[in-house]
Amino acid sequence: MPVTRIIAVRHGETAWNVDTRIQGQLDIGLNDRGLWQAERVGKALAEESIDRIYSSDLQRAHTTAQAIARHATNPTAHEVQLHTGLRERSFGTFEGETWADIAEKWPDESRRWKQRDPHFAPPGGETPTQLLARVQTTVDGIAARHPGEHIVLVAHGGVMDMLYRLATRQELHAPRTWHLGNAAINRLLWTPDGLSLVGWGDARHLEDDVLDETTT
């Protein structure tokens, strides 16, 4: 079966990223820098032979995806397909709180979160194990529809983290040594056997450093 080429992009910056405030599945829009980043990544991918663009339905990802679609040369990539399976991890009661708030209000839960406990979920939220299963099912379903094609997935830091772990066979509890910058370009290949990594964290299209947060 022909491979599906994937470009995975985290959404541009939001004010909550700057504040280290947990967004989760709350629908927070891009700030001015995030809009600039979205435009920059759209221009950077303008010469790519992109066939389809898929995005989380949360506006910070959708707005980023629309910027990529505006610059796409292939007409089939001009319409962004929304998919709830690409949403950020649900953080339940953590959503809307800063990292400092969480450490103060829920010290035990904060410790388990920071230790990357695969089975820990904030009240009302998802565990990393559940997120991994959701991301794998979503990507397998999307990529299988586009054998031999080149697609873009626009999502969130938590989703990017799971894509990297799936492609490199990293355990959920393994410390993260890879970057998840806003509007960075990440490249993978998909076959029915799974994902493989081509390139990660390309931010050359951005003039200065980008925030690197996995949880917002």
Is residue 11 part of the annotated active site? The answer reads: yes
Respond yes or no: is residue 156 known to be catalytic.
no
Encode 172-210: b = buried (16+ Cβ within 10 Å), e = exposed.
beeeeebbbbbbbbbebebeeeebeeeebbbbebbeeeb
Q: Which residue of the set 39, 48, 88, 97 is catalytic?
A: 88
Q: Are strands 194-202 and 150-155 parallel, antiparallel or unpaired?
A: unpaired
Distance between the two ends of the chain, CA-based, in angstroms? 36
CA atoms within 13 A on the CB side of 106: 17
The pair of structure tokens assigned to 175 is 């410390």
Among all residues, which ones are annotated catalytic? 11, 88
